[in-house]
């Protein structure tokens, strides 16, 4: 595997953590990797620059018009401050709020249970023939490339709902690949 | 008047002072919007919306943060909203076209952006990658600042920038192979 391929793979496979930081430290120092990344000057040629844009005089009148129709920023702040400084509810209002919160919690929990059951439970599961149930990890029993034995690596990235399978020829004895 | 004084003036109800903020940032905001969205018309709408939002939420701005980064963050959100809306409309439109066409007829691929950004770059780079690249190359922002604008962890911003730089380099190499030099 070429080292650039490894770098790309590592950046994609390790979404966070020390491994990726190490990869980026390598990229920052490695001339070969840097040669595969566009530099600032070259990137700027592909991007629209602020000084290339003209005819922006219409923005302020349009913004001004919209501002007239929206509340002043202080008014928004005052509403927020008024909300924060309002005395906490008490008496019947407090009792009602407590009951409403409890009822809302129960309804929410029931909805979550139903959702989970429909997604994973017997109601919603209908595996087609030959598909692997999600609880079984993907396993590769054997792999070969052009008739030669190969090693297979399975990398699961649950947060991206992605499975990467890497297959490479098994090195022959004596270091030859 | 400096930036802090302008903000204070706007908060004190002097709306006209906001003009100075718009004039100071409109070109940078517009350039970022064009680079993310790919066309001027959408960029102008996003730009105007952004300034209106900035004005409306000025009281919530935290002076400990960079004002420029805060404006860019609001713009970035507007741009992503625009892209989402266009995508939904595009899917609806393409389905309508498909349904009305006889089988085997030539179908339009994707919407013409009518843009001023190279369409190959628009196609190759995802919106967050375009944002990261623009903030890095045009504005000289650090990874941490880019992360603040696109609202992710600095390491994630670094990944966006890495992929953007890698893909753009590949595009440039491809152009060289086909014998055409220069971006635009």
**pLDDT for B32-65, tens place per residue?**
999 999 999 999 999 999 999 999 999 999 999 9
Separation between Cα atoms, residue A125 and residue A117, nearest integer Å: 9
- In this prediction, residue A131 has a pLDDT band, given cuts at 50, 70 and 90, of very low
Question: Residues 158-177, chain B: which have Cβ within 8 Å of A?
Answer: 158-159, 162-163, 165-166, 168-169, 171-172
Percentage of residues of chain A with pLDDT beyond 70: 59
- Test mutation, A47, A60, A76, chain B, max B CBs within 10 A: A47
DSSP A51: G
Nearest to A63 among B22, B116, B140 (CB): B22
pLDDT for res A128 = 40
Centre a 10 Å sphere on the Cβ of residue B57 and count the other Cβ atoms it contains.
14
CB A80 within 8 Å of CB B59: yes
CB B72 within 8 Å of CB B32: yes
pLDDT for res A1 = 54
B42: Cβ contacts below 8 Å, ≥ 6 apart: B33, B82, B86
Separation between Cα atoms, residue B184 and residue B177, nearest integer Å: 16
B43: Cβ contacts below 8 Å, ≥ 6 apart: B30, B33, B34, B36, B37
More confident site: A174 or A177? A174
pLDDT for res A132 = 41
Min Cα separation B162/chain A (Å):
8
Low-confidence ranges of chain B (pLDDT < 50): 104-114
Q: How many residues does chain A have?
A: 177
pLDDT for res A11 = 85
Min Cα separation A76/chain B (Å):
7
- Give the SS3 label for residue A155: strand
pLDDT winner (highest mean) among A91-105, A157-171, B104-118, B146-160: B146-160
- Give the SS3 label for residue A165: strand
Cα–Cα distances in Å, from A44 out to A36, A113, B40, B166?
Answer: 16, 52, 18, 14
More confident site: A7 or B71? B71
B87: Cβ contacts below 8 Å, ≥ 6 apart: none
pTM over 0.80, yes/no: no
Separation between Cα atoms, residue A61 and residue B164, nearest integer Å: 35
Average pLDDT, chain A: 72
Separation between Cα atoms, residue B61 and residue B54, nearest integer Å: 9
H-only helix segments in B57-153: 67-100, 119-124, 127-137, 143-150
Separation between Cα atoms, residue A105 and residue B35, nearest integer Å: 45
Check the CA dihedral B95-B99-B104-B106 and report its sign: negative
- In this prediction, residue A72 has a pLDDT band, given cuts at 50, 70 and 90, of confident
Taking residues A40-65, what's their average pLDDT? 92
A51-65, A91-105, B31-45, B167-181, range with the lowest pLDDT = A91-105
* Residue B61 CA from chain centroid, whole number: 21
pLDDT for res A111 = 73
Nearest to B138 among A44, A63, A73 (CB): A44
Beta bridge partners, A143, equal A150
pLDDT for res B146 = 97
Q: Which residue numbers of A have CB closer than 8 Å to B's CBs? A: 8, 11, 15-16, 20-21, 24, 27, 36-38, 40, 42-53, 56, 58-60, 62-64, 66-67, 70-74, 76-77, 80
pLDDT for res B105 = 45
Write b or e for each residue in B115-144: b if 16 or more Cβ atoms lie within 10 A of its Cβ, otherwise e. bebbeebbebbebbbbbbbbbbbbbebebe
- Residue in B140, B131, B129, B145 with CA at minimum distance from that of residue B66: B145
- In this prediction, residue A73 has a pLDDT band, given cuts at 50, 70 and 90, of confident
Compute φ and ψ for B95, nearest 5 degrees.
-65, -40
Separation between Cα atoms, residue B132 and residue B146, nearest integer Å: 6
Cα–Cα distances in Å, from B64 out to A73, A76, A80, B171?
Answer: 19, 20, 20, 39
At residue A127, does pLDDT exceed 50?
no
B120: Cβ contacts below 8 Å, ≥ 6 apart: B171
Question: Residues 10-69, chain B: which have Cβ within 8 Å of A?
Answer: 10-13, 15, 18-19, 22-23, 26-28, 30-31, 34-35, 44, 47-48, 51-52, 55-60
- Inter-chain CB proximity A47 and B57 less than 8 Å: no
More confident site: B58 or A71? B58
pLDDT for res A130 = 40
Helix B154-177 and helix B143-150, axial crossing angle in degrees, nearest 10: 100
Separation between Cα atoms, residue A150 and residue A144, nearest integer Å: 5
Separation between Cα atoms, residue B167 and residue A127, nearest integer Å: 39
pLDDT winner (highest mean) among A39-43, A123-127, B12-16: A39-43
């Amino acid at each position: 595997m070429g080292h650039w391929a490894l770098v790309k793979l590592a950046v994609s496979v390790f979404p966070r953590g020390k491994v990726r930081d190490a990869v980026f430290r390598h990229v920052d120092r490695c001339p070969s990797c840097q040669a595969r990344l566009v530099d600032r000057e070259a990137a700027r040629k592909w991007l629209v620059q602020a000084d290339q844009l003209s005819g922006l005089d219409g923005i302020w009148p349009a913004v001004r018009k919209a501002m007239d129709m929206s509340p002043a920023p202080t008014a928004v702040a005052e509403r927020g401050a008024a909300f924060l400084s309002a005395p906490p509810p008490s008496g019947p209002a407090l009792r009602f709020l407590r009951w409403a919160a409890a009822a809302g919690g129960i309804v929410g929990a029931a909805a979550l249970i139903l959702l989970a059951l429909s997604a994973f439970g017997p109601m919603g599961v209908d595996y087609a023939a030959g598909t692997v149930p999600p609880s079984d990890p993907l396993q590769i029993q054997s792999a070969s490339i052009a008739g030669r034995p190969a090693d297979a690596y399975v990398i699961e990235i649950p947060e991206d709902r992605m499975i990467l399978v890497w297959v490479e020829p098994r090195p022959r004895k004596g270091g030859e690949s | 008047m400096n930036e802090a004084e302008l903000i204070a003036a706007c908060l004190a109800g002097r709306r006209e002072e906001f003009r100075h903020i718009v004039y100071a940032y409109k070109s940078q905001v517009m350039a970022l919007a064009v680079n993310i969205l790919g066309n001027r018309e959408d960029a102008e709408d996003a730009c105007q919306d952004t300034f209106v939002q900035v004005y409306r939420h000025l009281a919530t701005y935290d002076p400990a943060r960079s004002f420029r980064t805060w404006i860019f963050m609001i713009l970035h959100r507007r741009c992503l909203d625009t892209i989402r809306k266009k995508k939904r409309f595009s899917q609806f439109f393409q389905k309508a076209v498909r349904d009305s066409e006889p089988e085997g007829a030539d179908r339009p691929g994707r919407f013409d952006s009518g843009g001023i950004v190279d369409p190959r770059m628009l196609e190759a780079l995802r919106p967050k990658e375009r944002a990261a690249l623009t903030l890095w190359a045009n504005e000289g922002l650090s990874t941490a600042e880019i992360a603040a604008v696109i609202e992710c962890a600095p390491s994630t911003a670094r990944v966006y920038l890495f992929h953007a730089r890698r893909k753009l380099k590949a595009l440039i190499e491809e152009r060289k192979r086909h014998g055409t030099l220069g971006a635009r």
